[in-house]
Amino acid sequence: METLTTSLARLRFDNRFTRELPADPLHGGTTRPVNRAAYSRVQPLAVPAPQIIAWSPEVSAQLGLDDDVWTSDEAAEVFSGTRLLPGSDPHAANYGGHQFGQWAGQLGDGRAIALGEVVDRDGNHQTLQLKGAGPTPYSRRADGLAVLRSSIREFLCSEAMHHLGVPTTRALSLALTGNQVMRDMLYDGNPRLEPGAVVCRVAPSFIRFGNFQLFAARNEIEELRLLADFTIRHHFAHLLPAGAPAAPVAEGEAGLGPDVYAAWFAEVCHLSAAMVVEWMRVGFVHGVMNTDNMSIHGLTIDYGPYGWLDDYNPEWTPNTTDAAGRRYRFGHQPAVVQWNLLQLANAVYPLVGEAAPLEEALNGFGDDYTGRYRGMLRAKLGLVTDRGDDDDPLLHGLLEVLGATETDMTIFHRRLGELTVADLTRLGADPGALSAPEALGDAWYDPGTVAAEARAAAAAWLADYAQRLADEARPDDERRAAMERVNPRYVLRNYLAQEAIDAAEQGDTTLIGTLAEVLRRPYDTQPGRERFEAKRPDWARNRPGCSMLSCSS
């Protein structure tokens, strides 16, 4: 193997997943059922013209890579899958899952190949995974590749979510491959060739609910136990009882025990509640919340047909496949997370041996989510006191105002923070003044068409809100600063991602970098970048990619 001349040579692999868990005895990407195995070893495809077009400086630094590595041929080769690093152990994970509420059996990494686990600058393990690097045993009838369109969306959204403070997997790099990939974007019988690309994703692990589900569904209980022990030992070590063995427990021996498995499940419930509250805070809609797309770390994973709320609409889903049932619509996301957790509970039940602790954790999810959600809404309004159920009229009233007319959720909350208590009191007494840009006019998509009853309801709510703020007597500037810490000015609006895609497909990748830079500081005012905080333009209202997307990539 040719010697590396860049900081890539410093990456140190410690591949615990492939070292400690059962492997598929066959190698290679031929589609097949894979039993009693957590993964299959498979090689990424070499590509004809690899080129890095974007990278995350924060993730790069965390891995100990120098900035100049990204202009090297070595980085392009490694992070496109064309060249393997010493110590890597490329593999695709085996898992199943429920898709749109129906058990789908074996699914697995059909277009993702993990290079292995590296130790970062803080001594933590990070899995490097290439999305779009070629076929695996789990690709079914697909080619295992990805196109530039979906890869740009994944790269930008992974990093945008992190800087918003939302738990997420990360994106290290985005590479062109030089290949052309055939895709039917709308599933309408009109496929076209698109530029191929690969994203390198980074996370402590890519273990999903579906990894446990597949073992349980096949009654592969020993493998289920090995996976649970691995997960807890390496990723939830604080749950280990005193004296628990530091090394993996051998096959056929007793595992960590029912109490530890139950405590781990409860923590996954807790992490999942924290994640989905953050989705609701920033207006993110995942779009395809199948159980195989749920991380046991409580991280947002698999950025496919996601979208951001432009106008506040709890019924909106960005996924064309979900258009009829709207299972994964914005307002239903917390309920879907709980349903998915129920499926995980069913999978780990053989390890726990009784339903009561699992049911307790599932019920705890509901209480945890409700408490966090109320607290999140109070924070978005700049409130410092918790009045319990007495807050409900004000909080529910906020959502009614947002939904009564086409209202940009992101702009609404920023404008609200800019208004003083005196301003809010005045507007509460004068519904006609609400259309001014400095009031709610900027947040309404068409202020001139807002019905009189909607204006009156908004004014009444503002009056109640102003009174609540007056009761708290929090200085306006202090409240505004607090609101600006939780209400972003910039999010990855659907049309902005599509503009970056359109330009990149014509050979201009500048907007990818500009958007990435804007989204690194989503809460700050950035002079000269006002266009990135503007409402969705009318041309984007129904355009594919700006309104709804398919799962095609």
Are the CB atoms for 416 and 381 separated by under 8 Å? yes
The pair of three-digit structure tokens given for residue 18, joined into one six-digit string: 């492939």
Give just the sign of the alpha carbon dihedral 413, 169, 246, 255: positive
Are the CB atoms for 336 and 327 separated by under 8 Å? yes
Task: Indicate which residue of 292, 302, 368, 408 is catalytic.
Answer: 292
User: For 437, what's the count of Cα atoms within 13 Å in the CB-facing half-sphere?
Assistant: 2
324-354 pLDDT, tens digit each? 999 999 999 999 999 999 999 999 999 999 9
Could you state, in order of their start, the residue ranges of all structural domains in the chain?
Answer: 7-207, 211-378, 385-473
pLDDT at residue 242 in the model = 84
Residue with tokens 């868990």: 21
Which residues touch 242 (CB under 8 Å, ≥6 apart)?
Answer: none
Q: Is 464 a catalytic residue?
A: no
249-291 pLDDT, tens digit each? 565 566 899 999 999 999 999 999 999 999 999 999 999 999 9
pLDDT at residue 247 in the model = 62
pLDDT at residue 244 in the model = 76
Q: Residue 270 is inside which H or E element, if any?
A: helix 258-282
The stretches in the chain having pLDDT less than 50 are 553
Which residues touch 526 (CB under 8 Å, ≥6 apart)?
Answer: 489, 490, 518, 532
Of 107, 44, 51, the closest CA to residue 76 belongs to: 51
Which residues touch 228 (CB under 8 Å, ≥6 apart)?
Answer: 212, 255, 256, 261, 264, 348, 351
pLDDT at residue 459 in the model = 97
pLDDT at residue 468 in the model = 97
pLDDT at residue 254 in the model = 66
9-19 pLDDT, tens digit each? 999 999 999 99
Of 109, 80, 324, the closest CA to residue 206 belongs to: 109
